[in-house]
Amino acid sequence: MIYLDNSATTKLDPEVLDAMLPWFRENYGNASSIYSIGRQARVAIEKARGEIAAAMNAHPAELIFTSGGTEANNSVLKSVVQESNLADTIVTSAIEHHAILHPISVIESFGKQSYILPVNNKGIVSPEQLAPYNNPRTLVSIMHVNNEVGSIQPIKELRETVPHALFHTDAVQSFGKIPIDVQTLGIDFLSVSAHKIHGPKGIGAMFIRKGIDYKAHQQGGAQERNRRAGTEAVSLIVGFQVAVKKAMQEMSQRNEHCKHLQSLMLSLLQEQIDSIRINSYVESSISTIVNISFKDTHLIDGESLLQQLDINGIACSNGSACVSGSLQPSHVLVAMGLPTDEAKVAVRFSFSKETTIEDVTTAVSTLREVVTSMRERH
């Protein structure tokens, strides 16, 4: 199988697994316990917290572990607007992940207001659109990198446009892939996840700037400085730490590798397949994603296309893994101005350090064969 769906999840790095195994076996203590194996677990967690926080230039006390990006997003939104009552209004973009859009819908049912900003045809929010919401009772949540087309939002400029608002960014698709400095960005909250950078599934974190009166969305024990109850998953946290360490060490090398793959794939697609639209703009997108759609929508069936690629050994998607298999058009592509029919026949290829040149060339030639066959049948 040629795996080209790394934005959905990545292969676990062997070094990450090796680091995790002792915490499943002999070092199984609860980090809240005061005896030796509990203390060992606590030391491991705090060491990991420090290293992961340093990777985003945060203080360790500002990093709270969660089960992943979805929990981090939900916790920030619901705590700020409901539990902590720090804001009455949420402002977001039309291309956010459903882990942002769906919680906002729930929050609206409690009488809170939300505003969804449009994006341009490259999937970018302009600072001018955000300017009217510079209010201390407003929470702005704009993702750093879009998971379907890879567009990189100008978070620093957006933040500077609303200095009085609270600001959150979903950085699940960017953390460990491109530099993130929470001090430079000036943000108040950040969501990250391990399994997008060859770490384990089931672990993520949220950055909460010191001084913010954040109240827990999840109650129970006093773990994570009373901000997220529940026994910490030591093995997953240690795995997250190793994945972040390797991602930071190899970031430049990985980026160059993925840029080469992206450039190669775009060139091959445009040379070999007619009537396609490139939805990932290299100058304003991350190098790990290529999203395309087909203009002759009456000849191409999106679901069948993905099934045929799978049968031929190519694993890719039509966008977010959370809605994979849905017959609904991509809300991201519709927001970028694509016709609804075309937004249903999109394909996302996403790379990692594991992806090879041969993977890309084979994927494009296979796609060409599948698309040609579909067109000929009509």
- With cut-offs at 50, 70 and 90, classify the pLDDT of residue 67: very high
- Say if residue 256's pLDDT is above 80: yes
Q: What is the pLDDT of residue 377?
A: 87
- Say if residue 317's pLDDT is above 80: yes
Give the residue ranges of DSSP H helices in the chain: 14-24, 36-55, 69-78, 98-108, 127-130, 155-161, 182-185, 223-226, 234-272, 302-311, 331-335, 340-343, 357-377
- Say if residue 323's pLDDT is above 70: no
State the Cα–Cα distance between residues 310 and 214, nearest whole angstrom.
Answer: 45
**CA distances from residue 33 to 22, 30, 40, 174, 193 in whole angstroms, order as listed:** 18, 6, 10, 35, 26
State the Cα–Cα distance between residues 114 and 108, nearest whole angstrom.
Answer: 7
Q: What is the DSSP letter of 153?
A: P
Q: Which amino acid is at 341?
A: D
Superfamily of domain 2-6+250-377: Aspartate Aminotransferase, domain 1 (3.90.1150.10)
- Say if residue 235's pLDDT is above 60: yes
The pLDDT tens digits for 128-165 are 999 999 999 999 999 999 999 999 999 999 999 999 99
Q: What is the pLDDT of residue 319?
A: 66
State the Cα–Cα distance between residues 353 and 316, nearest whole angstrom.
Answer: 16
- 274 φ/ψ angles, rounded to the nearest 5 degrees: -85, 160
For residue 13, the tally of other CB atoms under 10 A from its CB is: 20
Q: What is the pLDDT of residue 320?
A: 52
Residue spans of the domains in the chain: they are 2-6+250-377, 14-246
Q: Which amino acid is at 82?
A: Q
Among the options 322, 326, 356, 357, which is catalytic?
A: 322
Q: What is the pLDDT of residue 327?
A: 63
Is 258 a known active-site residue?
no
Q: What is the pLDDT of residue 109?
A: 92
Q: Tokens 């985003």 correspond to what residue?
A: 56
State the Cα–Cα distance between residues 227 and 254, nearest whole angstrom.
Answer: 34
State the Cα–Cα distance between residues 175 and 268, nearest whole angstrom.
Answer: 29
Strand locations in 144-193, DSSP E?
A: 166-170, 189-193
- Averaged pLDDT for residues 173-195: 98
Q: What is the pLDDT of residue 226?
A: 80
- Say if residue 305's pLDDT is above 80: yes
The pLDDT tens digits for 264-289 are 999 999 999 999 999 999 999 999 99
- 281 φ/ψ angles, rounded to the nearest 5 degrees: -100, 115
**CA distances from residue 36 to 30, 40, 50, 93 in whole angstroms, order as listed:** 10, 6, 21, 48
What does pTM read for this prediction?
0.95
Q: What is the pLDDT of residue 3?
A: 98
Cα-Cα end-to-end distance for the chain: 29
- Kindly report the CATH class assigned to 14-246: alpha beta
- Are residues 228 and 75 in contact, defined by beta-carbon separation less than 8 angstroms? yes
- Are residues 174 and 185 in contact, defined by beta-carbon separation less than 8 angstroms? no
> Among residues of the chain, what percentage have pLDDT more than 90?
91
- Averaged pLDDT for residues 286-302: 95
